[in-house]
Amino acid sequence: MKTRLRIAVAAVAGLLLPALPAAWAQDFPTRVIRIILPFAPGGGTDVLARVLAVRLQEALGQSTVVDNRPGASGNIGTELTVKSPPDGHTLMLTTTAVAVNVTLYPNLPFDARKDLIAISQLGSTSSVLSLHPSVPARSVKELVALSKRTRGGLNFGSNGSGTSSHLAGAMFAHVSGAALTHIPYKGAAPAINALVGGEVEVAFPGVNSVMPMLRAGKVRALAVSTLHRSSVLPELPTLDSIYPGIDIDQWFILFAPAATSRSIITRLHAEATRALQHSDVKAFMAREGIDPVGSTPEEAAVFFNRAIDKFARVIKIAGVKPE
């Protein structure tokens, strides 16, 4: 009798479980939407997340909050995301770090390829080779020469191990022969503060993170890390034009836990890409040097997987190690 009861309960559970995502989709959203940001507050990505949150809140009719979960090069926030209920109420806005970490940390308790679903690539930007004003170098080659004749070389700060700012610096040092020592910080804001305060001489922040300090004259920029020049800093050359082989971009993708229903992903994609067309968002992205993208989930997934492979090659070439 007990065996039959267990079988019946299991059968009913089996019928109900597939219906749960459909029920979530039908009712979505029913409560606060949380956008996990796996980095510290105050950086450019943090501001982008908050600008997006305002638009999603208006569109979805539910409070939308940014939840900063820095640490472990973004892995803490990513793990929290993949372990959250796949009901559309927990999202993650992140950067290239999530693709880099697949190679840099092979024993993570999650598989970013399988455990996340991309909603849309929102935009992309460059890292900027930036100096503290006291550094007596006015060109990229002058900086390389200075680093070589400076005892112990120069310190370069990054947003954390495995971030695009770290990879840009590591690749630059590898290709140019610059003597640079990596100093990781817990996010863009602490890294920028370290550069402004003179704790490090060099950094490779994203355009959106460094723009306020450039405008204030608190840092000096020499070049960008992508193959194309920045729309807001067109006077800066590309590193590749000086030392061929350097191409490090920083992008922003909105993710959800992998089991999130297609209907919820479709709704979130529609609202996220619509937000990119809002005048406030367009003005913010243009001002911060972020090129809007607004790809489909399928396009974002293809881009993400290619980025994993690309950064795996960069990590191998530059000899980047987790710190």
Residues 6+ apart with CB under 8 A from 52: 35, 93, 122, 254, 272, 275, 281
Q: What is the reported pLDDT for 27?
A: 81
Residues 6+ apart with CB under 8 A from 4: none
Report whether 277 contacts 122 (CB < 8 A): no
Residue 236's pLDDT band, with cuts at 50, 70 and 90, is very high
The sign one gets for the Cα dihedral 64, 70, 74, 79 is negative
For 128-241, the fitting CATH number among 3.40.190.10, 2.40.50.140, 2.60.260.20, 1.10.1370.40 is 3.40.190.10
∠ CA 261-123-140, nearest 5°, is 145
Residue pLDDT, tens place only, 271-296: 999 999 999 999 999 988 899 999 99
Residue 241's pLDDT band, with cuts at 50, 70 and 90, is very high
CA neighbor of 188 nearest in space, from 284, 97, 80: 97
Q: What is the reported pLDDT for 79?
A: 98
If you classify domain 32-124+249-318 with CATH, what class do you get? Answer: alpha beta
Inform me whether the pLDDT recorded for 84 exceeds 50.
Answer: yes
The sign one gets for the Cα dihedral 12, 18, 21, 23 is negative
pTM comes to: 0.82
Q: What is the reported pLDDT for 8?
A: 45
Distance between CA atoms of residues 3 and 294, nearest Å: 53
Q: At what angle do helices 207-215 and 44-60 cross, to 10 degrees?
A: 110
Mean pLDDT of 246-256: 95
Same fold, 32-124+249-318 and 128-241: yes
Inform me whether the pLDDT recorded for 26 exceeds 80.
Answer: no
Q: What is the reported pLDDT for 17?
A: 47
Instruction: Reduce the DSSP state of residue 50 to 3 states and report it.
Output: helix
Residue pLDDT, tens place only, 187-216: 888 999 999 999 999 999 999 888 889 999
Inform me whether the pLDDT recorded for 22 exceeds 90.
Answer: no
Domain ranges of the chain: 32-124+249-318, 128-241
Judged by average pLDDT, the poorest of 7-11, 77-81, 107-111, 114-118 is 7-11
Residue pLDDT, tens place only, 142-196: 999 999 999 999 999 998 888 889 999 999 999 999 999 999 998 888 999 999 9
